[in-house]
Every structure is written in C-alpha cells, then in structure tokens.
Amino acid sequence: MNHEKMTRKEFLKLTGAAAGAGVIASSGLGSIANAQSSDLLHRPIHSTGEMIPAVGLGTALEFGDLSGDFSKRKGAIEALFREGGSVIDTSPTYSDAEQIVGRALDELGARDKCFLATKTSIRGKQAGIDQNTQSFKDLRTNSFDLLQVHNLRNTDAHLDTINGLREEGKVRYVGITHFRESQNDDAVKVIENNKIDFIQCQYNLLDRSVEERVLPAAREHGVAVMINVPFARGGLFGPTAGAGLEIPEWSKDFGVDTWGKFFLKFILGHPDITVIIPGTINDYHVVDNVGALRGRLPTQTERQRMVQFIEDL
C-alpha cells in the first residue's frame, strides 16, 4: 500500500477531532484531504498516524469457498478499491480465502492499493512460522500490512515471530484478534503487557461487551481497533431488513438509507474505532458498507437511541 504520512501537528489535530462524533477526512483538513482525495471517513493508526479508510472487507464465512464463483469474490475486492476502501482482513483458516484474495489482488494489480491483514492461526511456534510462510505464498506478496495472532492462540510465541518479521521489513503492523466476550480480559492483558499496533475484536448492536474494558485499554495504550462481526454474522438483518422493517426516519438525519449503514454507523460513532471489516462476497454490499463512511455519524444520544431501537425489537 502507498502510505500518506502526516505531520505530528496534523495527526494531533485529527485525532483530537476524532474524539468527537467522528471526522470526515476532507473537512477542513487541507493537505490531508488532498492526500486522500476522497470524502470518506479515514481514521488514524495511532502508532504511526497513518490514515486508513474506516470500512474494509472481511473474508470469513463464504468468501473462502474455492468451489464458489471466483469472479464474484474478485468483484467484491474490485468494488472495495473502486469505492475508496483498502483494508482486507483474511486468515489461513478461512478455507481458501488467502488464495482467492492473493489471486484477485494479482489479477487486479492492486496489492499497492490494499492494506492487507492476515493472521497466525495455529498452535506451536514453528507451526506458526510455517503457516506464515504459506500465507506469503497464497497471498502472493512479500509483506503484510498487518499480521495478527488469531484468537489469542499461543500469543507470546507468535508475537515474537511477528515482531521478528517486522524487523525484517515483512510486516508493518503487529496485532491480536479475538471475538468472544470471554476473552476480553485476556485481550486487555495483552494490550497492557505488549507493544502492539492493533486489536481486532467483536463490536455490534447485539454485543457491546468491548466498551467496558477493551476499548478503554486500546485508547490508553494507543492501539488501533479493528472491528469484526459488525452484523453479528448477518444476524442483525433477520429482525430488521428480513422482517421488512422500515429504517427509522430519525436515522436518515445522519445519512442512513440501508440497514447495513445503520449498523456500521453505530460502530463508527464510537471514537475509539479505527476500522470495521464487514464480511461479504457481494460487490453491492461492499458499495453499501463503504458508503457508511459518507455523511455525518450519529451523536452519542443518537447511538443510545439505536441501541434502544434494537433492544425493543
């Protein structure tokens, strides 16, 4: 990925502003706006100040099915870049997702446009090293933007390896992931006791458990936050879109015109969130999801109303 860097002054100005209800990258920020050439919400990775679009693409669930339609999955990736997104999250354990992403990036000539995140997802230090080697091959790249310890499995051993890869210039950012409430305390301990750049965790209108300790710890230690499972694995659509429920009129005030945007704007309205990675194999859902980066974000009062609305269903 080509990375635009900011001056410290610009970074502080933006992060300060981001502590409010969210920032559109182009609003009154001159050179940053020009550097990003888009009106999409970007958020900073705290450890460097690098700005990334705050919605990307996840590749779990159906994405990794090699027997499925490759061109459809490639189309979803193409749509991500066309719409101004860049972050893709994958894993060697998402069936053949790494092979599919690697082939698509190759065919699209898009590796430089992509902030590519994958994981070490196996027990044992040497097994992790071997798995990383295969991931480089499958993703057809010499470097990852982010390499994460998957689900806090063998965290110490794998962080040691990933930090080594960073020293070799093969990894730019180091992270951990989890998605279970029962692992929140362990995630906080890793944040407190290690130098990591990213934490990936679950946050959505049905599971807000990370608000209590994980997000405050990430803020305190300057760790960027990547959100997985933003739609509760699609479960949020059942009682809303699936039931034919109309989008609440009041949410149109902050640019919501689909249920997908309703759920994503709720998450983006939390100032500690850096990027969300909704999973989809459909280009039109990518367009919808990246579209959540336009327009204003809900205020904290409006976010409370969103929580209440879902709880009342």
Ligand X SMILES: NC(=O)c1ccc[n+]([C@@H]2O[C@H](COP(=O)([O-])OP(=O)(O)OC[C@H]3O[C@@H](n4cnc5c(N)ncnc54)[C@H](OP(=O)(O)O)[C@@H]3O)[C@@H](O)[C@H]2O)c1
Q: Which residues bind ligand X (CB under 6 A)?
A: 58-62, 89, 150-151, 177-179, 200, 228-234, 237, 260, 277-282, 285, 288-289
| Alpha-carbon separation of residue 20 from 6, 56, 233, 270, 298 (angstroms) | 20, 22, 28, 9, 11
Between 85 and 230, whose beta carbon lies closer to ligand X? Answer: 230
Looking at beta carbons only, is 154 or 289 nearer to ligand X? 289
Minimum separation from the CB atom of position 294 to ligand X (A): 14
Q: Smallest distance, Å, CB 89 to ligand X?
A: 4
- Record the tokens describing residue 76, joined without a space: 């979803």
Smaller CB separation from ligand X, 14 or 229: 229
Angle of helix 70-83 versus helix 283-291 axis, rounded to 10: 20
CB of 29 to ligand X, least distance (A): 28
Express the helix, strand and coil content of the chain in percent, nearest 5 each.
45, 15, 40
Q: How far is the CB of 54 from ligand X (least distance, A)?
A: 14
Query: Which residue's CB is nearer to ligand X, number 59 or number 99?
Result: 59
Q: Which residue's Cβ has the minimum distance to ligand X?
A: 279
3-class DSSP assignment, residue 266: helix
Which is closer to ligand X, CB of 4 or CB of 62?
62
Q: How far apart are CA 136 and CA 144, in angstroms?
A: 8
Nearer to ligand X, 29 or 162 (CB): 162
Nearest distance in Å: CB 280, ligand X: 3
Cα–Cα dist 241/96, whole Å: 30
Residue 35 vs 232, nearer CB to ligand X: 232
Cα separation, 173 vs 144, whole angstroms = 8
Q: Which among 89, 93, 173, 104 is positioned nearest to 140, based on CA atoms?
A: 104
Distances (CA, A) of 227 to 21, 149, 167: 17, 15, 26
Cβ 275 to ligand X shortest distance, Å: 11
**Shortest distance in whole angstroms from residue 229 CB to ligand X:** 4
Can you give the length of the chain in residues?
313
Q: Where are the beta strands (DSSP E) in 108-153?
A: 115-120, 144-149
